[in-house]
């Protein structure tokens, strides 16, 4: 995905430089935050808005789940992965959840480790998104079947909109067709409330 970014003009180049500077000043993990913005840009519409759903084949995922899946390999390659695996092994053994079959035990350990990495990824995603909201690079609200709101709840799912310097990513990363084009049964959400930004996921 990231190698497909093309800076075709001086304006795009200066815009990217400004974006990277803004991310570096706002985020404790600038590379992670940049990848998050790139993933959002990949599925954003022409207005820079992504969500609340993303199509993957014939399946609809919430934007948050799709982003988590995209960022999951980063957690899986974390140098602490081996230590996590050993902690999972000890936890499962202490709870009596490991079978005597080595292959089955390894599969159980791998599945539990992946679940923990996925949970950690969602936490890191939320933290990075909040940093980008505070930096003025991202706008967040929650879209529901009938009612939108700046807070989640009531079966509402997150929608992100690239704003400020982050809009330079639009058009630089090949996007996907609007999910409603391939899934016409999906309702078009009403315009989002702009009363404020909720600081936490």
pLDDT band at 171 (very low <50, low <70, confident <90, very high): confident
Choice between 155 and 2, residue whose per-residue pLDDT is larger = 155
- Nearest by Cα to 173 from 65, 44, 21: 44
Instruction: Report strand pairing: 49-50 vs 59-62.
Output: unpaired
Helix spans in 27-101 (H) = 30-43, 63-76, 81-94
DSSP 140-196: EEEE-SS--BSS--TT-EEEEEE-GGGGGGTTTS-----HHHH-TTSPPPPPPP-S-
Burial of 190 (C-beta count, 10 Å sphere; 0-12/13-18/19+): exposed
Question: Could you tell me the maximum CA-CA distance found in the chain, to the nearest angstrom?
Answer: 62
119: pLDDT strictly greater than 80: yes
- Nearest by Cα to 160 from 2, 48, 35: 48
pTM: 0.73
140: pLDDT strictly greater than 60: yes
Q: Are 190 and 149 in contact (CB under 8 A)?
A: no
Span of 10-14, 18-22, 112-116, 155-159 with lowest mean pLDDT: 10-14
Q: Are 199 and 150 in contact (CB under 8 A)?
A: no
The number of beta carbons lying within 10 Å of the beta carbon of residue 195 is 10
pLDDT band at 72 (very low <50, low <70, confident <90, very high): confident
Region for 7 from its dihedrals, namely left if φ exceeds 0, alpha if ψ lies in -120 to 50, beta otherwise:
beta
User: For residue 173, what pLDDT is reported?
Assistant: 72
SS3 50: strand
């Amino acid at each position: 995905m990231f190698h497909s970014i093309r800076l075709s003009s001086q304006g795009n180049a200066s815009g990217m430089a400004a974006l990277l500077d803004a991310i570096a000043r706002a985020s404790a993990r600038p590379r992670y935050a940049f990848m998050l913005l790139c993933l959002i840009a990949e599925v954003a519409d022409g207005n820079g808005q992504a969500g609340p759903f993303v199509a993957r084949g014939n399946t609809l995922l919430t934007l948050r789940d799709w982003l988590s899946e995209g960022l999951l390999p980063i957690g899986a390659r974390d140098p602490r992965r081996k230590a996590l695996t050993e902690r999972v092994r000890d936890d499962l053994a202490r709870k009596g959840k490991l079978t005597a079959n080595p292959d089955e035990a390894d599969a159980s350990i791998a599945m539990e480790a992946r679940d923990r990495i996925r949970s950690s990824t969602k936490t890191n995603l939320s933290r990075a998104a909040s940093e980008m909201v505070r930096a003025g690079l991202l706008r967040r609200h929650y879209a529901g079947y009938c009612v939108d709101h700046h807070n989640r709840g009531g079966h509402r799912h997150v929608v992100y909109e690239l704003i400020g310097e982050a809009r330079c990513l639009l058009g630089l990363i090949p996007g996907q067709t609007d999910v409603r084009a391939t899934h016409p049964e999906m309702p078009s959400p009403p315009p989002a409330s702009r009363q404020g930004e909720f600081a936490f996921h």
